[in-house]
Amino acid sequence: MQQRVTTIVLLIGLCFGLSLLVSAMGTWRLPDNQQGYAPKQPIAYSHRLHAGELQIDCKFCHSASESSRHAGIPSADVCMKCHRYVTAPFDVMQQEMKLADKEKRKPEMIVSEELQKLYDALALDENFQPIEGATPQSIPWVRVHNLPDYARFNHQAHVTVGVSCQKCHGPVETMERVRQHATLSMGWCVNCHRDATREGINGRKVHASTNCSVCHH
Amino acid sequence: MTQIPDNSRTNNADSHGQPAVLETGGVFGDESSTINRRRFLEAAGFSISLAALTGCGRAPVETALPFPIQPVGAIPGRFQDYASTCAGCPTACGLLVGTRDGRPLKMEGLPEHPLSRGGLCAVGQALPIGLYDSHRLTGPLSAGKSSEWASVDQEIIQAFSQIKEQKKAVRFVTPTITSPTLQANIDAFLAQFENAKHVVFDAISSSAILDAHEQTHGVRVLPHYLLDKAKVLISFGADFLGTWISPVEFTAAWSSRRAPTEEYPEMSYHVQIESRMSLTGSNADRRVTIAPNEQHLVLSRLAHEVASLAGKPLENSPPLEGSLADTEIASLARKLWEARGESLVLCDSQDKATQVAVNLINHHLEGYGKTLDVKRPSNQRQGSDRDVQQLVEELEADQVGALLVADVDLLHDLASCQTLADAVGRIPLTISFSQREDEFASLAKFVCPDHHVLESWSDAEPIGGLISLAQPTIRPLRETRAVLESLAVWSDRPTTAYEALQSHWKKTIFPRRQKEASAQFVKFWEQSLREGFVEVEAAKSVVGDFKAGEVKPLAQQTATGDFSLILYTKVSMPDSRHSHNPWLHELPDPISKVTWGNYVCVSPSDAKELGLVDGDIVKVSAGDEGPQLELPALVQTGQHDGVLAIALAYGCKGTDRFAKIGPQWFEARPTVLENELLGKNAAAFVEFRDGAQQYLRSGVTLSKTSKRRDLATTQLYNSLEVPAEVAPHGAERRDIVQHTTLNAFAKDTHAGAVEHHFDGDTQLWPEDHPKTGHAWGMVIDLNKCTGCSACVIACQSENNVPVVGYDEVRRQREMHWMRIDRYYTGEGEDMDVDHQPMMCQHCDNAPCETVCPVLATVHSSEGLNEQVYNRCVGTRYCANNCPYKVRRFNWFKYEHDDTLQNLVLNPEVTVRSRGVMEKCSMCVQRIEAGKVEARSQGLPVADGAIQTACQQSCPANAIVFGDINDQESKIYEALENPRRYRVLEELNVRPSVSYLRVVKNRDEESHSG
């Protein structure tokens, strides 16, 4: 009798576990695997628009990727190189131009909601003048690709030998909001290192080391 | 879960639910289909882990904050070096500040600097932890309460105008100031007052040398000693490799003459005549111990002999009684005389007559202009003890209206004047510029904290004509203000330190430029700033002719009392300003190997007589009226009988903060006892005599108390000699450190080598891992290494080595990846001291690798022995199997709660957690960075482009690191050196680290190990 009760209890447990598993099947992953992670960012920046449609080179903004471990998130003043002129979507600006033309007045400066955040971060008003009493603040971007503290990835090492950005980051130029494309697991890294040593990168022979201390130190 | 007991009971387990399972091989009865205990646990575990897996959440959200406006040239995640000047002491060595993401992290020596030649001492290396110290003052204090700069300035300006009206005396006390700009600004500030004076107070003063030169040469200067020119060098007590005046420069110069080669089997001859065991003495070719009161007797005999050889004998020379026979002194004199023009005598005495005798010797040896220079003198010690003595008298007579003190704790370092604190309390205006509430600051009316040296603009002229710049590498972390700026505000000429510096350079330094320098100031300035230093014409000094007539032979001083007490400073603690630096406190003294605090060094036979062992607390007193203190004793081999030695710069106010440093577990003992400070202040024993502070005090008594406090020592084995009863024949001395003499070396460059009777062909492992790419290796020249321990702190700073505190060190759980083993061999006069840096040897046949059950320590294809922290489970098998004992285990999760202090951590190196083994990685982060840098330029890794932290900072240039496979490299050349050997070679573990044999410049043949 007792055994039967136990069996039933265990079976219920098993079914419960399996049912949870099935429901989570769509996003199933091993612990610490953050694949697909696409957090909301403080500014709704679109890589699809900038890297895809406008064809801006990745390294224009992530300029440290060739010279440092970090690719670097561009500082707000880099964004301002363009956005001091481009302050709102093209059609909105065009509409305002037309309207101003009709009403025979100077077109007003329109700063879109998202770009206003950029101006706020730099403590600038819409005429590009510093706001008194305010200091520039960093934009708290949410990290998407986050390796554990005991693993080190060096952008310079990969970018300078010709590994494309998309190899690890996926088709960023199609992503409205950036998501983690690869698993970033150790097996994934090591497999690529082995393939690169065997097949080379862009036809060039490379030695992608698989020594532990290359990444763990 | 209540089902478990029921379940097991049905299966005839015993009443404790204990397993019939083991006895029956895992099957209960014949019903194999029924659910037994094991199955239950399996299934339950599976379903729970399934639930757990599906419930896995996302990692915590982390933000990445870029600069709002990125400074030009700043690249996130990349080290950037700035040339600067170290201000850890008045020596002013060249500094290369490694900053990353706006934080200064790693201090290195400036390779091009003419004095320090790329070396940097432990104190310089430890600067960053002082910068990120959360105990520094956050702003100015007024009457002990925190205040605003504006209100403090207003009050001070008011007080100064009163002083001007009443024509009261103003006294400004600083230690030696090498900065010409600060000096000029202090002078300008004091010029406003009618009775104002700048008093230079060095807690460790060389006043007598300056006074002696005033007598013999007519200028009160400290000569610049050129040790690299000295073939024969006799030092009387001067610890020039450890603490005396400019140790980094002297180590670099001294070691440049300590590398005999096959073609030129020559090196300098260095004799140390001293009473206590100093670092310099431990490196000498010949070390003679004398009683401290014999020093000037021996010196005047030597002066007599040298003068006779020069044909100008002194009148009435005293006979010699003591440890050195007349014949020996004559032979030393002959050696000096034969090498005249290339010989030098140094002395640390604070007795002017003794120093005059030293000057006479150096004069007869034709040293002036060759081995020591008074025309381009050193500015590294300017203290005038006469002025200090006068100041004390004025203070006690209430003649001072305002007292300003910068960079020195007047009350701590002048503890011998007991009434001084009361006198200071009576002064109408007292201002301290201290960064923390030291003894003087806590009494001062105002505390106007100065910047940390890494936050401030400054300059330095350590040697006449050599000027270096110090630049800030971080914005001030606290509401502090440079001394110079404070003075400017109070003189109603507000300026920034940067402007003051530039205007002073424009006015006085730029006109002194050399011909080839740019004629445009901006270019001159920018070049000096980029390079860190500039050589200009030395200020003209009027050096008089040597006045030999003033030298009189000296009579022997009679000793009174039981003991003579020598007050010295430890290599790790040059003055009380560094008393809040935990890295320096945990740095083992190069000789005693003791950390955390000071102690009384007693000679072995005195200790035997008094029944003292290490750690017995003894009471040292100078008469009934005189000062006394209680400290643990340390039996110091090599110390002269009847001598005690205590380190100064301990017992500083506020050091009780270290009471709870290190892991706090139930058996932990505090680093600092309750109501006590770290160590005891021995400055009370310093006397003013003959116009100089005397660091030698006779008439001291020593008594044993019943108390004990174990010393936190990192080394418990001191000898290389195997006890006679167990020593195998022919191996009485372990050959861990191999020795030879210069004579033997000249005959046979392999002299001193030890034959190993092992079969190198028999291998436990197949030779199937060729190193075709890089193969990293290291060679350490033990003949150059002085044991100064700069590398230990360099490693600690680079590799995030935690501070563990007194109790953990006492339990032999210190975490330093690099240690310097110190061994004594022989006894008395024939005693040798060896220093051997020891860290992971990166063995090719590593014993640690074979025993790791989880492959957490493995061999890389480049010959490195890697430790993978995230794999390690902490079995400690590897540490047990390591013949070099270089592995360190994280017994605790060492504290990283102080978020400000955490800024000192190097982001390139993982901070290890509890239960993980760690050890020297040969700075693999630097190797990887160097490889990436070379590869991205499409070039092979250049020899010397990758330097380990220990190698970079070594003042003696004793460490060579590089790629063994590169036949053009320095390491390849070093491996061919006939002096090369490997430690414990007989084990055939094939270390990648080699050592070069010690060569002593002696007459006798080699005593091989």
- Per-residue pLDDT reduced to its tens digit, B819-831: 999 999 877 667 8
A19 touches chain B (CB under 8 A): no
- Residues B431-475 have pLDDT tens digits of 999 999 999 999 999 999 999 999 999 999 999 989 999 999 999
| Separation between Cα atoms, residue B398 and residue A120, nearest integer Å | 60
Supply the pLDDT for residue B918.
95
Supply the pLDDT for residue B1009.
35
Considering only CB atoms, B869 lies closest to which of A20, A139, A150, namely A150
- Residues B292-335 have pLDDT tens digits of 888 888 888 888 888 888 888 777 666 555 556 778 888 899 99
B925 touches chain A (CB under 8 A): yes
Chain region(s) in chain B for CATH 3.30.70.20: 739-760+774-1000
Q: Which residue has the higher pLDDT, B367 or B561?
A: B367
Instruction: Say if CB B117 and CB B123 are below 8 A apart.
Output: no
Number of C-beta neighbours around residue B376 at 10 A: 16
Supply the pLDDT for residue B853.
94
Residue contact A6–B7, C-beta within 8 A: yes
| Separation between Cα atoms, residue B670 and residue B680, nearest integer Å | 16
pLDDT surpasses 80 at B62:
yes
**Residue B58: pLDDT band by 50, 70, 90 thresholds?**
low
| Separation between Cα atoms, residue B672 and residue B679, nearest integer Å | 8
Considering only CB atoms, B928 lies closest to which of A139, A161, A214, namely A214
Considering only CB atoms, A10 lies closest to which of B43, B56, B866, namely B43
Q: Pick the residue from chain A with its C-alpha nearest to B912.
A: A150
A212 touches chain B (CB under 8 A): yes
- Residues B827-854 have pLDDT tens digits of 766 788 999 999 999 999 899 999 999 9
Which of B325, B287, B322, B286 has the alpha carbon at shortest distance from B305?
A: B325
Q: Which residue has the higher pLDDT, B729 or B145?
A: B145
Window 68-87 of A: residues touching B by CB (8 A cutoff) are 68-70, 72-78
**Residue B1006: pLDDT band by 50, 70, 90 thresholds?**
very low
Which ranges of B55-170 would DSSP assign to H, the alpha helix? 122-125, 127-131, 149-166
B69 min Cα distance to partner chain A (Å): 5
Which residues of chain A lie closer than 8 angstroms to B72, CB-CB? none
pLDDT surpasses 90 at B263:
no
Q: Which residue has the higher pLDDT, B613 or B27?
A: B613
Window 773-802 of B: residues touching A by CB (8 A cutoff) are 773
Position of tokens 């970018």? A159
Which residues of chain A lie closer than 8 angstroms to B932, CB-CB? 154, 156-157, 160
From residue B455, give the alpha-carbon distance in Å to each of B88, B130, B406: 13, 11, 16
- CA B410 to mean position of chain CA atoms: 23
Which residues of chain B lie closer than 8 angstroms to A130, CB-CB? none
A173 min Cα distance to partner chain B (Å): 21
Residue contact B936–A136, C-beta within 8 A: no
- Residues B160-172 have pLDDT tens digits of 999 989 888 999 9
Alpha-carbon radius of gyration of chain B: 31
Residue contact B35–A7, C-beta within 8 A: yes
Average pLDDT of span B700-725: 87
Residue B393 CA neighbour count, 13 Å, CB half: 8
Model confidence, pTM: 0.89
Supply the pLDDT for residue B299.
87
Number of C-beta neighbours around residue B514 at 10 A: 10
A143 touches chain B (CB under 8 A): yes
B566 touches chain A (CB under 8 A): no
Supply the pLDDT for residue B548.
61
B32 touches chain A (CB under 8 A): no
DSSP result, B183-206:
HHHHHHHHTTSSEEEEEE--SS--
Q: Which residue has the higher pLDDT, B898 or B671?
A: B671
Question: Residue B614: helix, strand or coil by DSSP?
Answer: coil
Residue contact B908–A142, C-beta within 8 A: no
Average pLDDT taken over every residue of chain B: 87
Number of C-beta neighbours around residue B982 at 10 A: 18
Instruction: Say if CB B220 and CB B357 are below 8 A apart.
Output: no
| Separation between Cα atoms, residue B25 and residue B44, nearest integer Å | 21
Amino acid making up residue B166 = Q
Architecture label for domain B563-708: Beta Barrel (2.40)
- Residues B227-239 have pLDDT tens digits of 999 999 999 999 9
Number of C-beta neighbours around residue B496 at 10 A: 14
DSSP result, B6-48:
HHHHHTT--TT---HHHHTTT--SS-TTS--HHHHHHHHHHHH
Q: Which of A73, A190, A197, A213 to mutate to test the interface with B (most CBs of B within 10 A)?
A: A213
Cα torsion B762, B765, B771, B777 to 10°: value is -70
- Residues B170-191 have pLDDT tens digits of 999 999 999 999 999 999 999 9
Considering only CB atoms, B67 lies closest to which of A3, A31, A75, namely A75
CB contact burial A23-60 (16+ within 10 A = b; e otherwise) = eeeeeeeeeebbbebebeeebebbbbebbbeeeeebee
Q: Which residue has the higher pLDDT, A87 or B856?
A: B856
B3 touches chain A (CB under 8 A): yes
Length of chain A: 217
pLDDT surpasses 60 at A170:
yes
Chain region(s) in chain B for CATH 3.40.228.10: 208-378
A38 min Cα distance to partner chain B (Å): 11
A214 min Cα distance to partner chain B (Å): 7
Chain region(s) in chain B for CATH 2.40.40.20: 563-708
Residue contact A211–B55, C-beta within 8 A: no
- Residues B111-148 have pLDDT tens digits of 999 999 999 999 999 999 999 999 999 999 998 889 99
Residue contact B67–A154, C-beta within 8 A: no
A207 touches chain B (CB under 8 A): yes
Q: Which residue has the higher pLDDT, B254 or B517?
A: B254
Window 845-874 of B: residues touching A by CB (8 A cutoff) are 858, 860-862, 864, 866, 868-871
Which residues of chain B lie closer than 8 angstroms to A122, CB-CB? 68-69
**Residue A149: pLDDT band by 50, 70, 90 thresholds?**
confident
Supply the pLDDT for residue B555.
56
| Separation between Cα atoms, residue B477 and residue B449, nearest integer Å | 12
Which residues of chain B lie closer than 8 angstroms to A73, CB-CB? 64, 66
Residue contact A21–B68, C-beta within 8 A: no
pLDDT surpasses 90 at B30:
no
B525 min Cα distance to partner chain A (Å): 29
Q: Pick the residue from chain A with its C-alpha nearest to B936.
A: A160
- Residues B730-781 have pLDDT tens digits of 677 788 899 899 988 988 888 888 877 666 677 777 777 788 889 999 999 9
| Separation between Cα atoms, residue B868 and residue B915, nearest integer Å | 13
B39 min Cα distance to partner chain A (Å): 10
Average pLDDT of span B867-871: 92
Supply the pLDDT for residue A196.
93
Average pLDDT of span B634-654: 92
Considering only CB atoms, B921 lies closest to which of A29, A34, A217, namely A217
**Residue B51: pLDDT band by 50, 70, 90 thresholds?**
low
Supply the pLDDT for residue B542.
76
| Separation between Cα atoms, residue A155 and residue A168, nearest integer Å | 11
Number of C-beta neighbours around residue B816 at 10 A: 28
- Residues B334-347 have pLDDT tens digits of 999 999 899 999 99
Which residues of chain B lie closer than 8 angstroms to A37, CB-CB? 58
Q: Pick the residue from chain B with its C-alpha nearest to A21.
A: B54
- Residues A120-147 have pLDDT tens digits of 898 888 778 888 888 889 999 999 998 8
Residue contact A77–B928, C-beta within 8 A: no
Residue contact B64–A143, C-beta within 8 A: yes
Supply the pLDDT for residue A133.
84
B934 touches chain A (CB under 8 A): no
**Residue B5: pLDDT band by 50, 70, 90 thresholds?**
very low
pLDDT surpasses 50 at B16:
no
Q: Pick the residue from chain B with its C-alpha nearest to A31.
A: B56
**Residue B553: pLDDT band by 50, 70, 90 thresholds?**
low
Q: Does domain B208-378 have CATH number 3.40.228.10?
A: yes
| Separation between Cα atoms, residue B387 and residue B1002, nearest integer Å | 45
A59 min Cα distance to partner chain B (Å): 13
| Separation between Cα atoms, residue B931 and residue B466, nearest integer Å | 36
Which ranges of B565-722 would DSSP assign to H, the alpha helix? 582-586, 604-610
Instruction: Say if CB B301 and CB B538 are below 8 A apart.
Output: no
Which residues of chain A lie closer than 8 angstroms to B76, CB-CB? 64, 68, 70, 72
Q: Pick the residue from chain B with its C-alpha nearest to A146.
A: B62
Supply the pLDDT for residue B1005.
47
| Separation between Cα atoms, residue A173 and residue A178, nearest integer Å | 9
Q: Which of A70, A118, A153, A217 to mutate to test the interface with B (most CBs of B within 10 A)?
A: A217
Say if residue B883 is exposed, middle or buried (CB neighbours under 10 Å; 0-12, 13-18, 19+).
middle
A178 min Cα distance to partner chain B (Å): 14
Phi, psi of B272 (to 5 degrees): -115, 125
**Residue B570: pLDDT band by 50, 70, 90 thresholds?**
very high
pLDDT surpasses 60 at B21:
no
Supply the pLDDT for residue B560.
56
- Residues B646-658 have pLDDT tens digits of 999 999 999 999 9
Q: Does domain B739-760+774-1000 have CATH number 3.30.70.20?
A: yes
A141 touches chain B (CB under 8 A): yes
pLDDT surpasses 80 at B367:
yes
Instruction: Say if CB A32 and CB B870 are below 8 A apart.
Output: no
Instruction: Say if CB B889 and CB B872 are below 8 A apart.
Output: no
Q: Pick the residue from chain B with its C-alpha nearest to A73.
A: B66
Which of B221, B270, B220 has the alpha carbon at shortest distance from B250?
A: B270
Window 601-640 of B: residues touching A by CB (8 A cutoff) are none
